[in-house]
Structures are given as C-alpha cells and as structure tokens.
Amino acid sequence: MDMVACTPRIPGVGETVIGTSFSTTPGGKGANQAVAAARLGYPVQMVGKVGEDAYGDPLLDGLSQSGVDVRTMGRFHGSSGLAHIFVAQNGQNSIVIVQGANADVTPAFIDEHADVIGSAGLVLCQLELPLATTLHTIELCATAGVPLMLDPAPAAPLPDSVFPNIAWFTPNETEAALYDGGGDAPEKVARQILARGVRGVALKRGAEGAYIATVDKAAWVPAFKVDAIDTVAAGDCFNGAFAVGLMRGMDPWAAARFANAAAAISVTRRGAQASLPTRAEVEAFLMKHS
C-alpha cells in the first residue's frame, strides 16, 4: 500500500516540511506492473503475498477489480508491503519501502506455483522481493523456456550468471549505473549491459523516452510531451505496457512507443495504480499524437 504525502518539495536530511495532502493507494512494483498490463486488456496472473492487516483485502480487491487473477496470491501473518512516498509539486518523488509480506515470498512459495509460471508467455520480475526468490524465479523460467523481463528496482548487485537468462532488462538511468561498468551515454550503457548476456535492454529515461537495444538493433523511442504532476509508477506503467506490446507481436520499438504513451498518460494523474490507463485511453492518445 502506498502512503502518499504531497509536499512543496522533498525534505532534506533532518528537515521537517509541511505537507499539503495525504492519501493511501494500492501500489508495489509487481502489483503496479500487473495492473498496468491487465488494464491494457491482457490476461495477467500475479504470484505474491499480502498481509493479514487492514491493507491486505483492499490490495487484493484492487488487483481483482483491475482484471488481475489473484488465485496465486498468498497471505502473510503480519503487515502487507508498504511504501512511504513523498511527492513534490514538480512531480518528483522519494520512496521508503517496508517489505512486510513481500519478504515472505520465498523460493519454496514460487515452486508451489511453478506450473503457472511455466505456462506464462512472459514473466515480469523486480527486486522488491527477496533477491534469492527473484534469482530462483529467473532460473525456473530459464529451465521452462519462458522469457523473463527484469526491472532491477530497487537496484542491487546481481551475479553474472543471471544476465543470460534475462530476455529484457529495464533499468532507469539511476539503476543502470550499477550494471553498466561505468558507461555514461545511453548507447554505451546499453552495449555494456548487452555484453553481460541479456537479450534486450530498455533504458527508461523519463522525459527523454526510452533507448531500446538488442544485439541486432538499437534506437531511441522518444517520449510524449505532457505536463507531469506525479511520476510515481511511471516506470512500472512502461514495463507493463511494454510487455503487453511484445505479447501482441509488436517489435520492441513499437512496443516501447506504446509503453511511452501509457506512461505519459500515467504521469498526468496522481497515484500509482490509480494513474494507470486502459487500452482505449492509450489508443486514443496514440491517435491524437500520430
């Protein structure tokens, strides 16, 4: 659950700032990406856990109402995952994550749902779960021949053996710095990450757009210019929409344009899952910006 405080600016260390509003809204990188894909009309199943606290049922209800299949969601005897988010007037944000139920998503729990994971067309992962669980999921997908998209957020060191098992690696500019060997220009960053064995890289660069690279081709996909009021979940929106585009048979650059459109809509609205657009909204946006 995202606990969002709007503020004139992000406070510095030791500083108290008077906020302007407060709200709670369903969030979490995995859930955001699942909802993003489901609202775009693609069937999605989520494997994870929520707590047996006041937030667990609303989180599951939010997923279900957005079209996400929650039959593989478990319950944890404790708190749900929580995020404390500060959103400044310029749309920038800072976030503190409390794992809660996410910390109880173990490799053994993943194995309980290996059949669902093995039947997927594409599996999306991020690093808000225990690292051992994510690494186990990547290995499971590699064995089953299921392509996997990894959003390395929050960024953490990964063993070299993992990268060849990743179909799409989707860091933002800050996260990419941990994996690129010291590159600076996006073109160089992408080459260095591809050299580690991943099959595709989608560098998310906010207002610049996305740099999409495979071993055969690389190109910028520009962002759409909009007036942003809240960037929370924009990267998750991109990932969910990018996955949907790929699953619909788009080439990676067309899928990234589709994802940029979805993300552009999301930053004009407040909230995480509340900001994620439907397929009809994205198609209308693309028609308008053709």
Residues assigned a catalytic role? 236
Helix (H) or strand (E) holding 68: strand 68-69
What are the φ and ψ backbone dihedral angles of 202, each rounded to 5 degrees?
A: -120, 100
C-alpha triplet 258, 262, 265: angle, nearest 5°: 140
Residues whose CB falls within 8 Å of the CB of residue 24, separated by 6 or more in sequence, listed in order: 1, 2, 3, 4, 55
**Residue owning tokens 């021949």:** 145
Helix (H) or strand (E) holding 252: helix 252-266
Q: How far apart are CA 237 and CA 265, in angstroms?
A: 9
Q: How far apart are CA 98 and CA 55, in angstroms?
A: 13
Q: How far apart are CA 62 and CA 80, in angstroms?
A: 14
**Residue owning tokens 């699953």:** 247
Look at the chain and count its residues. Answer: 290
224, 264 in Cβ contact below 8 A?
Answer: yes
3-state helix vs strand vs coil in the chain, percent to 5: 40, 20, 40
